[in-house]
Amino acid sequence: MTNIILCGGTGTRLWPMSRTLMPKQFVKLFDEQSLFQLTLTRNLETCDTHMIVSNAEQYFLAVDQMQELQIAVEGEHAKFLLEPVGRNTAPAIALACLALEPEEIVLVSPSDHLIKDTKAYSKVIAHAKSLAEDGDLVTFGITPEFAETGFGYIEADGEDVKAFHEKPDAIKAQDYVDAGNYYWNSGMFCFKAGVFLEELKKYSPEIYETSVVAYTSATQDGMIRIDHTAMANIPEDSIDYAVMEKSERVKVVASSIGWSDLGSFDALSEEFEKDADGNSVDDNLILMDAKKNFVYSSDRMITLADVDELIVVDTPDALLVTKKGSSQKVKKIVNELKARKSDLHHIHLTAHRPWGTYTILEESENYKIKRIVVKPGKRLSLQKHFHRSEHWIVVSGTAKVTVGEKEILVRPNESTYIPLGEIHRLENPGKIDVVLIEAQVGSYLGEDDIVRLQDDFKRD
C-alpha cells in the first residue's frame, strides 16, 4: 500500500505560528516533531511507500524532516511529486495515482492532521484496505464528539454513504450528532489507484484528461516535476466534489481514532497540557488570576493578569491576541496582510532553505543584517544581485566562497566582500555548520533580487 501524503496546505488559520513558507504541517508542535513527521511515522507500519505531493518550497522542508527520522528520501520507498501551482485535492491525487500501478492500494492522508489513538487507527486502516481490495472508494468518517460547525459531515447507512453535507449551522450540527449516523469528514481516503482514476474519468473527465496530459509531460529526474502550464490547465476541484459525492462505489469506515485537523487555535489549544485553571503550561508564562487561556510563545516571557479565555500567539515578528471562539477570524487577518502587501503572512524571520537557514536580525531602508547557517556539504546557488552588495563575516566553520573568478576559504573572524553585480557563491565544504553574518547594503533588498546562474536544487 502506498501512502499519498498531501502537503499543499498553507496553514493560514494558524498564523502567525504558521506561514506560507513554514505551514503548520512542518511546525514542530508535539515533542519536537511536526505533524508531517507524525504522519510519516504513523503510516510506516501499514504502507510500503510514501508518495509525497508538495510544492517546491515544501519539498525541501519535507526532505529535511524525513532525514531527521532517518527515512530515505530517494529510492523505491519514497517518491515526490512537485506541483508548481495548487489545484486542490482531486488533481493532486490523480497525478499521484497516475504514477502508480492501477492495482496499487493507496491511503490518502493530509499531512497536517493529528491522530492520537494509533492502535484504533491501525484497525480502521486494515478494514479500509479490505474494502478497497473489493474495488470500493473508502472514506474515513470521524465519530463526532460534539456538534462541530467547522467540518463537513458524511451521512451513512451502515458502511454505505448516503450523502455528503456541507458545514452546518449549530442547530443542524446538533441534529446530525443526535441522529447517530453522521460523521465528520476527515479528508482521508483509501482505494485502488486505478479505481479512483476510472471514477474520476467518469464523473470529472476534464480533470482526468488534463491530469493525464500534465503527468505525461512531467519531468522525472528522481522526482516527478509537473509543468507549470500543464498544471494550471487542470480544473481546480476537491476530491469530494469531483468524485466522492458522485460515485456509487463509496464506503465509509467509522473511526474513533483521537483525530483533529488542528484547523484553528481553539482546536490546537485542546491538545496542550493545562494547569488547574485550564491555562496552557509553559515555562515562559506567568499567570495572575487568569483562567482558560492558551499561550504559545517562541522564547519571550508572557504574563497575563485578570483575563480569561484568551489566545495569545507570540512570534519574533508578529503577535496575535484573540478570544477563544474567535480564532477562525485569523484567516481574515491573513487576507488583510496580503492586501497590505506585507510579507508577514509568507515568511518568518527565520527562513528555511534547502542549504540551511537565514534569520533577519535587523532591517532598515538601505541595509539588512542576516544570520546565515549553511549545512555541511551544501552550497547556495551561483548568483548575482542587481541592487545590493554583501559583506560576509564567518562566525564558525569554514566557508568556501566564490567571488568572480576567485575561490577562497573564509575562516572564523575573517570576512569577504561581494560587490554589486558580481557573480558569487557560498559553500560549506566541512563537517560542521558554517555560521556567518551577512550585511546587505543597497537600494533594494528584496529576496527576489537574485539571478541564479547555477543551482544544485533546480530552483527557478
pLDDT digit string, tens, across residues 362-379: 999 899 999 999 999 999
3-class SS at 326?
coil
Q: Under CATH, which architecture does the 2-260 domain have?
A: Alpha-Beta Complex (3.90)
Task: Say what the pLDDT of residue 74 is.
Answer: 67
Question: What does 255-308 look like in DSSP terms, one character per residue?
Answer: E-S-EE---SHHHHHTTS-B-TTSPBP-TTEEEES-BS-EEEESSS-EEEES-B
Contacts 24+ apart (CB under 8 A), 125-132: 125/46, 125/190, 126/46, 127/253, 128/190, 128/253, 129/1, 129/46, 129/105, 129/190, 131/159, 131/190, 131/251, 131/253, 132/105, 132/190, 132/191, 132/192, 132/195
- Nearest to 293, CA basis, from 268, 312, 267, 319: 312
> What is the pLDDT confidence band of residue 75, given thresholds at 50, 70 and 90?
low
Helix (H) or strand (E) run with residue 339 in it: helix 330-339
In angstroms, the Cα distances linking 275 to 54, 282, 299 are 38, 10, 20
CB 12 within 8 A of CB 263: no
Handedness of CA 65, 71, 75, 76 (dihedral sign): negative
Query: CB burial class (10 A; 0-12, 13-18, 19+) of residue 261?
Result: buried
Least confident of 205-209, 211-215, 286-290, 444-448: 444-448
Handedness of CA 422, 396, 26, 79 (dihedral sign): positive
Cell numbers for 161, please give them.
454513504
Least confident of 31-45, 72-86, 151-165: 72-86
Sheet holding 406-410, edge to edge: 406-410, 399-403, 424-427, 382-384, 451-454
Task: Say what the pLDDT of residue 256 is.
Answer: 97
Q: Are strands 424-427 and 399-403 parallel, antiparallel or unpaired?
A: antiparallel
pLDDT digit string, tens, across residues 231-290: 999 999 999 999 999 999 999 999 999 999 999 999 999 999 999 999 999 889 999 999
With pLDDT > 70 as the criterion, what percentage of the chain qualifies?
Answer: 99
Task: Provide mean pLDDT across the span 343-364.
Answer: 92
Class of domain 350-454: mainly beta
The answer, as to whether pTM is greater than 0.95, is: no
Domain coordinates in residue numbering, the chain? 2-260, 265-329, 350-454
Is residue 111 predicted with pLDDT exceeding 90?
A: yes
